[in-house]
Structure 1
Amino acid sequence: MARDTTDHTPLGSVSELTAYIAKGCKPKDEFRIGTEHEKFAFFQADHAPVPYFGDRSISALLHGMQEKLGWEPIMDGENIIGLGEHGGMGAISIEPGGQFELSGAPLETLHETCRESNQHLAVLRQIAEPMGIRFLGIGGSPKWTLAETPRMPKSRYEIMTRYMPKVGSHGLDMMYRTCTIQVNLDFSSEADMARKMQLSLKLQPLATALFASSPFTEGKPNGLLSWRGEIWRDTDNQRAGLLPQAFEPGFGFEQYVEWALDVPMYFIVRDGRYHDCTHVTFRQFMNGALKGEVKDFEPTLGDWTNHLGTLFPDVRLKRYLEMRGADGGPWRRICALPAFWVGLLYDDGAMTAVEELTRDWTYADVLSLRNEVPAKALSAEIAGRSLLDVAREVINISTEGLKARARTNGDGQDESIFLQTLEEILAKKRTLAEDLLSLYNGRWNGSVEPVFDEFQY
């Protein structure tokens, strides 16, 4: 997230929290696609991570991008921490370890969102290459220890860094040593949201398997195919993972809000200052728990918006749905991830087909699959079937959903062209993580160093 929200509208009741999310409902012809991707910044000369400060640094990259694009700088005190496109459409931000992120604008077609990502990378290369900086597209930091990984001077990250070790074993790894590709998608009604939430929760482990690309940690194989997926199994389980209530009949905005209310907060922002609020839940905050601790202790809409953005379920609900299961990856995957989900969730026929395919999958089934996937990827099983077989059916459904949308480019190609990289995985029966391990054990001669050269953007 590039920027935390400041909205001083007072909150008086839980129903206002629900109403805020419900305002995300929109007609189908206004559905958009918002794609986000993160990448590791490194120095080409020695594959070292890029610090925040200095002439060749993350801050220098942000200043260079600001000058090139004319976007508004986003500041935390005196430090630039991101850029916002004029009109609030897109943003550039930095993750805790210097991972460089594009949060794309809400666009109508996958052709547009893919073009947006390519344009972003092209401009970024113009700024980065004179500094000797390049970017790596995989899901987990392959070489650097936590101690070697730089820390960005962003106030919310200072609070999270102190808090994470108290609530899980992998929180700092999540913050500093992982990258993802995500897509944000719309819903037309509460029922449509609930339907999409359940389907996408069921299929997030499949996305983790298909995009698995984090088999290395600190210079050697870690025994996993998606280290990032394993990290999310024990980061902060109060605010992360599957949502069992989403598998129950009657799930809707209110049920999500009730869950969110009882998750500990990270912070509130008052007069530009971040106050650590990890000792209270949002429900306690609404009941006056911060009275006497901060001057303006009553909750605002900005506090609620920020809290929603600090929840980490596999599918996150704001005024849209965020698909959060995939590792980062090479540039073709920046287009493939949104294509996968748009094909499944933006076509009624595709949604019905996926519902039928997953109808008998219980919460326990999906949780078991989620636990297996980091090590087994497409070799994992659910309901007596290999995930590879399930993947074939799901990608066929997604393909048909994209064809039904009939959004074509200048050459008359529909959006299903962006699934090609996933079709190649199915044909080979091998994930990118398995390809990386084969290279490590073969041509790379037991070294992870070549990954920086062969998988950079």
Structure 2
Amino acid sequence: MSNPAEQDARPITSLQDLVDVLASGCKPREDWRIGTEHEKFGFVRPEAATAERPAFSSPAYAPEGIGALLEGVRAEGGWQPIMDGPALIGLKGQGENAGGAISLEPAGQFELSGAPLASLHDTRAELERHFANIRSPARKLGLGFAPLGFHPFATRASQPWMPKSRYAIMRAYMPKVGSMGLDMMQRTCTVQVNLDFASEEDMRRKMCVSLTLQPVATALFANSPFYEGKVNGWLSNRANVWTDTDNNRSGMPDACFAKDFGFAKYVEWALDVPMYFIVRDGKLIDVAGRSFRAWLAGDRQDGLDGLTPTIGDFEDHLTTLFPDVRLKRFLEMRGADAGSPEMMIAQSALWVGLLYDDAALSAAESLVREYDEATYRTLRADVPARALNTPLGTGTVRDLAARMVAIATDGLRARGLRNTAGQDETVLLAPLQALVAGAPTQAERWLERYNGPWGGDVRRILSEAEI
């Protein structure tokens, strides 16, 4: 979501204006970049002493609050404040952090929205710098962070709420449209990569490949096998949550599989997704459930009567859509659980390898055509439970994942971008190469620990997953 001062206040005069918003993302290949976003759960150290999550600020949490951590990171330098009324709710990067931002998810999950970077080696350096930057102020406040797909033991009722206006609106609306929307908000963490396209046709090809293969990514990055301290029957409970959060705005939209899919098709789909809010005079107005299409057509609606829809309103609306691959001025891959730093970087490497090389993209297109759309939709429903072991054809999803990783390896090798040690970007796929060769997923490793040395004490996961 844009900051109020940055909103485009031009009135919408036609659907073409909205198509142009998306089309403005087209870039020549030499300007393609990689933006990685990752979330992690905060916890009060030592983790065995409490099941609580750090609130934003309150007498009980005075030294440990998430608000205090934002202030501590800001004091380290290189960040400007992002405010929501009187509350500091994020940081905008300056200097070596320029182009990046730190934000808070609903229950205080800490998110880095990384800067657009030229190589995956740069992505790894940014990730390492971010962890180093937050470690010192976090430790001073008695906090730690663990990147996992679903909180392993916290109940929904125990979760704090961050003072962001949009979350108050979503909190009231989510229970009306799905059974697990509040779980999505408060108890999940993800990692995603944002990638560019050259043209509408290039976007279409990349959307088709990435949306179709997103369930395979979910299987590779499965990292949430616990629910309120017990084994939950899922390897990716985060992905399971998304099956009943708000299906009008999530999943695999039919529009994206249409033969004539393009910017206009996505706009048409977006206009029929119910709204959450609009911003006027720097404040959010709750219009949850209202129709953007009807507003644009001039229909009188409670909260919108007399207001003119603007380009900025539509851009904000785009941020409230949650398909497995989201289109804005770039494409966002949204199917993976948060995980170890190596797996976070591997997620970016996978999609860069598949989508940023012509031969790799063509090979990926051939790969996805081996099964029909219905098969991939079925996979999306099935992989949360069994991940790479999910049956597919005469084998399993692991077989498809192996071919996917092989194509990505070729794609990264063709890019030929090397670090100071002379390694190309394929080195960052090593965790995925191990998985497709038979290694257990992150979730399966945690289950081994739970059933072995932890003796059924799931809280042990925090110290072992801590960054």
- What's the TM-score bracket when you normalise by the shorter of the two chains? over 0.9
Partner Cα distance (2:394, 2:172) in 1: 42
Q: How far off is 1:245 after superposition?
A: 2.2
Corresponding residue to 1:280 among 280, 290, 298: 290
Instruction: Write the letter of the residue equivalent to 2:230.
Output: K
Query: In the alignment, is residue 212 of structure 1 matched against residue 222 of structure 2?
Result: yes
Q: Which residue of 2 aligns with 1:59?
A: 67
Contact 2:18 2:267 in 1 (8 A): yes
Counterparts in 2 of 1:66 and 1:290: CA distance versus 1, 3 Å? farther
- Taking the aligned partners of 1:155 and 1:290, their CA distance within structure 2 comes to 24
- Return the offset for 1:359: 1.0
Deviations 1:396-454 (A, max 9, x none): 11111101000000011000111111122223342111111111111110110110111
Tell me how far apart the structure 2 counterparts of residues 388 and 293 of structure 1 sit (CA, whole Å).
Answer: 49
> Which moves more between the two structures, 309-318 or 247-256?
247-256
Q: What's 1:301 paired with?
A: 311
Aligned counterpart, 1:71: 79
Asked if 1 retains the 8 angstrom alpha-carbon contact of 2:402 and 2:437, the reply is no
Q: Matched residues in 2 for 1:291 and 1:259: separation?
A: 20
Is residue 24 of structure 1 aligned with residue 28 of structure 2?
no
Aligned to 2:273: 263
Moved more, 310-319 or 43-52: 43-52
**Over residues 269-322 of structure 1, what are the superposed CA-to-partner deviations in whole Å (9 max), with x where a residue is unaligned?**
111221111131211121234567357611111111100010000000000000
Aligned residue for 1:325, secondary structure, equals: strand
Q: In structure 2, what is the Cα distance between the partners aligned to 1:301 and 1:67?
A: 35
What's the counterpart of residue 246 of structure 2?
236
What is the RMSD of the two structures over their aligned residues, measured on CA atoms? 1.5
Percent of aligned positions with the same letter in both sequences?
A: 51
**Per-residue Cα deviation, 1:43-63 (whole angstroms, up to 9, x for no partner):** 112253111013321101111
**2:133 is aligned with 1:123:** yes
Which residue does 1:49 correspond to in 2? 53
TM-score computed with the length of structure 2 as normaliser: 0.95
* Alignment coverage as a number of residue pairs: 457
Range moving further from structure 2, 419-428 or 92-101 = 419-428
Structure 1 residues 357-396: aligned runs within 5 Å:
357-396=367-406
Deviates more, 1:8-17 or 1:367-376: 8-17
3-state secondary structure, aligned to 2:458: coil
Tell me, yes or no, if structure 1 residue 342 matches structure 2 residue 346. no
2:358 is aligned with 1:354: no
User: Which residue is 1:328 aligned to?
Assistant: 338
User: Where does residue 152 of structure 1 map in the other structure?
Assistant: 162
Gaps of 5+ in 2: none
* Structure 1 residue corresponding to 2:413, chosen from 403, 407, 411: 403
Relative to 1, partners in 2 of residues 1:3 and 1:441: Cα closer, same or farther, differing over 3 Å?
farther
The one-letter code sitting in structure 2 at the alignment partner of 1:103 is S
C-alpha displacement of 1:6? 2.1
2:37 is the alignment partner of 1:36: yes
Counterpart contact for 1:388–1:429, Cα < 8 Å: no
Q: Distance in 2 between matches of 1:456 and 1:90?
A: 22
Distance 2:335 2:447 in 1: 21
1:427, 1:447 → 2: CA distance?
Answer: 30
- 2:10 is aligned with 1:6: no
Instruction: Please list the CA deviations of residues 142-180 of structure 1 after superposition, one character each: whole Å capped at 9, or x if unmatched.
Output: 011011111101000000000000001110000000000
Alignment match of 1:413 (pick from 406, 413, 423): 423
**Matches of 2:117 and 2:79, distance apart in 1:** 18
* Distance change in 2, residues 1:294/1:241 (3 Å): closer
Give the match's secondary structure for 2:171: helix
Verify: 1:434 aligned to 2:452, yes or no.
no
d(CA) in 2 for partners of 1:105, 1:240? 25
Summarize deviations over 1:321-372 as a string: whole Å, max 9, x none. 0000000001111211100100000011111111111113222111100010
| Residues 295 and 304 in structure 2, CA contact (< 8 A), matched pair in contact too | no
Q: Deviations over 1:90-112 (max 9, x none)?
A: 10000001000000000000000
Aligned 1:96-175 pairs, distance under 5 A? 96-175=106-185
For structure 1, which runs of at least 5 residues remain unmatched after alignment?
A: none
Per the TM alignment, residue 7 of structure 1 is displaced from its structure 2 partner at its CA by: 2.0
Partner SS state of residue 233, structure 2: coil
SS in 2 for 1:84: strand
Report if aligned partners of 1:344, 1:397 keep a CA contact under 8 Å in 2: yes
Contact in 1 for aligned 2:2/2:316 (Cα 8 Å): no
